[in-house]
Amino acid sequence: MSLWLTLAAVALVSAILKAAGPALVASRGLSPSTQVVFAHLPPALLAALIAVQTFADADERLVVDARALGLAAAAAALTLRAPALLAVALAATVTALTRMLL
Amino acid sequence: MAAMGELLAGARAGLPFALPTFVVGVSFGALAYELGWGAIAPVAASIVVFSASAQFAVASVLAAGGSPGAAVAAAALVNGRYLPMGLAVARWLRGGRLRRALEAQAVVDASWALANRGDGRFDRAVLLGATLPQFPAWVAGTAAGVAAGSAIGDIDRLGLDVVIPAFFLVLLGGELATRRGRAVAALGALIAVLLVPATPAGVPIVAASGAALLGLVARP
């Protein structure tokens, strides 16, 4: 029973967190500097998501493992203007091969 | 509502995330089942919570003997990133507060990243539409994981866990065109990496929002 209550509470909290920004911030009336900061959230958050999903392990330690190699391969491919799907496939392949060899 | 055609275009944009989402769902379903959640609760969790990171946080806290309150707190921290993400998209959703709050429920990491058009603009049809393929993939993956249990073995060996960050890397590419964008991204990643060992999960990403303040620095 407590599992179900926990899940219900997590669902509620998540919904509130998702709703908070759009409910509190009106479409108009943001100061220009606030808009500038909001406009720079995507590179900050995307880079942070990538960094955490690449370098953090399940125990919240920093590790450089097969994932980092895979992402590095994708980054190199994108720098060489490879198509997105090729870069992503390369990331998975390099990660899988590294795990197989190590 | 956005026109049906626009939503479908948004859904098409979200298709590449369906497979990796299904695979992560399989891991979650298998893990939760092994932890004794039964068959229904993992699938129900994926329907009502619909957040891989929060669901894994709950599973790991409960598995470690943590209290329900601790599990909820961990999930709240992990999903704390939805605060800055919601602020960024707020003006691109439509209607009054209630309508925008409801539309925001469709926003997840992938749809948010896919809908980002740079310079703070977001494509509303993609914000809402890209989640259309991802939600059933997440729920079906969870059910498949429950059904397969430990029989699936270690699916990480396929390297599919890097598919989602690799897609995010593709989507970050557009932000790296300017020196300002590169500086913000580098600082965001740095803040997150430095905080990973020092703070509970979720905090590093929320704190990385601070890198957006670089937008206020006068252009060199």
Which ipTM did the prediction report?
0.93
Chain A residues with CB inside 8 Å of B169's CB? Answer: 50, 71, 74-75, 78, 87, 91
Decide if pLDDT at B155 tops 90: no
Chain B residues with CB inside 8 Å of A22's CB? Answer: 86, 89-90, 93, 97, 100-101, 103-104
Nearest residue of chain A to residue B32 (CA atoms): A3
Decide if pLDDT at B2 tops 90: no
Identity of the residue numbered B190: L
Answer yes or no: are the C-beta atoms of B133 and B189 closer than 8 Å. no
Report the alpha-carbon distance of residue A73 to residue A2 in Å, rounded: 44
The pLDDT of residue B130 is 96
The pLDDT of residue B3 is 80
Helix, strand, coil % over all residues of chain A, rounded to 5:
75, 0, 20
pLDDT digits (tens, 9 = 90+) for A13-43: 999 999 999 999 876 678 889 999 999 999 9
Q: How far is CA B105 from CA A83, B9, B29, B185, in A?
A: 31, 19, 22, 26
Mean pLDDT, residues B106-112: 95
Mean pLDDT, residues B49-54: 95
Identity of the residue numbered A20: A
- The C-alpha angle with vertex B166 and arms to B165 and B168, in degrees rounded to 5, equals 60
> pLDDT category, B1, cuts 50, 70, 90?
low
- Cα B151–chain centre separation: 27
Q: What is the pTM of this model?
A: 0.91
The pLDDT of residue B156 is 78
Identity of the residue numbered B8: L
The pLDDT of residue B203 is 95
Listed range (B83-92, B191-200, B211-220) with the worst mean pLDDT: B211-220
B186 in contact with chain A, both atoms CB, cutoff 8 A: yes
> pLDDT category, B72, cuts 50, 70, 90?
very high
Chain B residues with CB inside 8 Å of A43's CB? Answer: 172, 175-176, 181-182, 184-185, 188, 211-212
Decide if pLDDT at B214 tops 60: yes
pLDDT digits (tens, 9 = 90+) for B167-213: 999 999 999 999 999 999 999 999 999 999 999 999 999 999 999 99
- A90 CA to chain B: closest CA distance, Å? 9
Identity of the residue numbered A47: A
Kindly provide the b/e burial profile for residues A60-83, where b requires at least 16 CB atoms within 10 angstroms of the residue's own CB. Answer: beeeeebbbbbbebbbebbeeebe
A101 in contact with chain B, both atoms CB, cutoff 8 A: no
The pLDDT of residue A27 is 62
Report the alpha-carbon distance of residue B149 to residue B36 in Å, rounded: 11
Q: What is the mean pLDDT of chain B?
A: 93
- Tokens at B112, concatenated: 């948010």
Chain B residues with CB inside 8 Å of A80's CB? Answer: none
Per DSSP, B95 falls in state S
Asked if A21 and B157 come within 8 Å (Cβ–Cβ), the reply is no
> pLDDT category, B93, cuts 50, 70, 90?
very high
Chain B residues with CB inside 8 Å of A59's CB? Answer: none
A96 in contact with chain B, both atoms CB, cutoff 8 A: yes
The pLDDT of residue A1 is 59
The pLDDT of residue B55 is 96
Nearest residue of chain B to residue A39 (CA atoms): B120
Answer yes or no: are the C-beta atoms of A17 and B82 closer than 8 Å. yes
Listed range (A34-48, B1-15, B71-85) with the worst mean pLDDT: B1-15
**Percent of residues, chain B, with pLDDT higher than 70:** 97
B185 in contact with chain A, both atoms CB, cutoff 8 A: yes
CB atoms within 10 A of CB A11: 19
Residue A14, classified by CB atoms within 10 Å of its CB into exposed (0-12), middle (13-18) or buried (19+), is buried
Count chain A–chain B contacts defined by CB atoms under 8 A: 291
Asked if B54 and A37 come within 8 Å (Cβ–Cβ), the reply is no
Nearest Cβ partner of A84 from B83, B158, B170?
Answer: B170
Q: How far is CA B169 from CA A15, A32, B123, in A?
A: 27, 29, 19
Nearest Cβ partner of A60 from B80, B201, B213?
Answer: B201
Decide if pLDDT at B220 tops 60: no
Chain B residues with CB inside 8 Å of A18's CB? Answer: 79, 82, 86, 101, 104-105, 107
Mean pLDDT, residues B151-180: 88
Q: B117, B111, B115, B88: which is closest to B175 by C-alpha?
A: B117
